[in-house]
Structure 1
Amino acid sequence: MSADASSGRIARRFAAVRNELRPALVTFVTAGDPDLATSEKILAALPGAGADIIELGMPFSDPMADGPAIQAAGLRALKAGQTLRKTLAMVRRFREIDADTPIVLMGYYNPIYQYGSEKFVADACDAGVDGLIVVDLPPEEDEELCIPALKGGLNFIRLATPTTDDRRLPKVLQNTSGFVYYVSINGITGSAAPDSTRVAEAVDRIKAHTELPVAVGFGVRTREQAGAIGRTADGVVVGSAIVQAVAASLDEDGKATQNTVSAVTALVGELAEGVRLSRQMAAE
């Protein structure tokens, strides 16, 4: 089976929110942060809080593209014993209660390589994963994982950045499916706030090259920012703000508290309100 951008959970979800005249809210959490049990509770609660698509981070000891918040979340997860096998098991258990919300695994190639690319693709499909974002595999390395993933039935989602010019963009989009993730700022995650005007121009430029939805992330933290970005983007991605909400809820020993899940769902609820009002604000 090959992945087709016109079918599957991701395509269906973007079509559904398009019918609602709004963008999708794409939320990122790190698998196993701050511990496996709490992480599974957070994952299960995200759709009800307003998340349309969930990016589930695969913890890695050297996350070069991530800022301090997501780095810390990954280290907490690894310290608590999270592995790629446990992350896939999380998705499998999530599918027992939610058959519709798309799950995208996001991270780096090293853990996948150690797991075995062919086995990983097969196990990810079997668990109910819908797509992959692997930030350190450029298009020139598509035979390494991208092509096998597409053939296996997984969407392979690429990142485009402010420095991805019109000469480079077709190469980036060549085997991309599901959606395009536009990184709205140069640098690491959570390092600055995006400029909504520049984002709108970038989204228009990318859409001139593809019919895929364009989701925008890096730096979105508040309901207002989500609404501003959502006026022109097909999706709004929020990660660092959510993992910071997890971190702020922990006790002095870094352990989960009774407020950890609710801290995440409260923030996601606010962000969901922002994206739902975004097109309405644009029309006024």
Structure 2
Amino acid sequence: MNPIDSLFQRLRAQKRAAFMPFLTAGDPDIAFTRELLPAVADAGADLMEIGFPFSDPIADGPVIQASYTRALNHKLKIADVFAALRDTAARPNWSAPLVSMASYSLMFKMGPTAFIEAAQKSGVSGAVVPDVPVEEAEELSKLARDRDFKLILLVTPTTSPERAAKVVQACSGFVYVVSVVGITGAREALPSALREQLARLRTMTDLPLCVGFGVSRPEQVRDLKEIADGVIVGSAVVKKLEAAGADRAKGLEDVKRFVAELRAPLG
């Protein structure tokens, strides 16, 4: 069984939502990423979304865009990311599934089959692909299913019910539910319509529904734990590293502490 399926099966039995931090690979360099991933796992991450830096992200806000720029300034290559993830997943007692966040442009350039094969050899269990239209996702969805590799697509507040049904049908592993209209980034509050959005999606699929975009505070995680199967936090985590600057020890400790604080409301 794919590790993502195993995780959500176990958490559903425990009636607990998953906590999934987003981390940019190679920010500020790949050596630090090798330190960061185990530290975040120890702080309570159930699974991790690993951003593959890309020069032209379409959904990411300024915090994550800046982290991609920092990583790319060090001439980061996809092979470097896979190598770091492979070493991480090979650590004794490693149990947190890894999910890549990768633009379809990166997958297309490498070749979708080659990308999935390299990802699986590196211990990656699935991919969030934010920029592939569902109308063009059938081939990629089948390719992923045939290899037991999870394809996660995004549903937004403006996605029509008809289109949302197609998106969740193309997904496997879980559905990435975008909580707000717009790009990634911390928000003061989550929209009141989110509960209705999740309820509607639950009539369409049995897949776990994981909420991302805008989540940045423990109280928001607490609000989500009863209505979502997973909580994704990206910009707020990445911003901790940005704020630490060249003080890597501080950055590592700040992220660990922040992840533990966000994870705590889930029990």
Shorter-chain TM-score bucket reads: over 0.9
Query: Which one of the candidate residues 216, 236, 243 is aligned to 1:241?
Result: 236
Cα distance in structure 2, aligned partners of 1:175 and 1:156: 8
Aligned to 1:267: 258
Aligned to 1:37: 31
Cα distance in structure 2, aligned partners of 1:196 and 1:164: 15
Question: Per the alignment, in what secondary structure is the counterpart of residue 261 of structure 2?
Answer: helix
Deviation string, structure 1 residues 196-225 (Cα, Å, up to 9, x no partner): 642221111100100011000101101111
Aligned to 1:9: 3
In the alignment, structure 1 segments of 5+ residues that lack a partner are 1-6, 277-284
Matched, 1:104 2:104: no
Deviation at 1:86, TM superposition (A): 1.0
Query: Which one of the candidate residues 49, 52, 74 is aligned to 1:58?
Result: 52
Cα distance in structure 2, aligned partners of 1:18 and 1:106: 24
Cα distance in structure 2, aligned partners of 1:90 and 1:228: 34
Matched, 1:185 2:176: no
Kept after mapping to 1: 8 A contact 2:154/2:175: yes
Residue-pair matches, total: 266
Kept after mapping to 2: 8 A contact 1:185/1:194: no
Kept after mapping to 2: 8 A contact 1:196/1:228: no
Aligned to 1:137: 132
Question: Per the alignment, in what secondary structure is the counterpart of residue 72 of structure 1?
Answer: helix
Cα distance in structure 2, aligned partners of 1:166 and 1:257: 45
Q: TM-score, normalised by structure 1?
A: 0.89
Kept after mapping to 2: 8 A contact 1:184/1:194: no
Aligned to 2:164: 169
CA RMSD of superposed structures (Å): 1.5
Deviation at 1:54, TM superposition (A): 0.2
Question: Per the alignment, in what secondary structure is the counterpart of residue 170 of structure 2?
Answer: coil
Cα distance in structure 2, aligned partners of 1:182 and 1:30: 20
Matched, 1:153 2:144: no
Question: Per the alignment, in what secondary structure is the counterpart of residue 75 of structure 2?
Answer: coil
Deviation string, structure 1 residues 99-130 (Cα, Å, up to 9, x no partner): 42111100211222222222111111111110
Cα distance in structure 1, aligned partners of 2:57 and 2:20: 20
| Residue correspondence of structure 1 range 117-128 to structure 2 within 5 A | 117-128=112-123
Deviation string, structure 1 residues 13-41 (Cα, Å, up to 9, x no partner): 11222233221001100001111111111
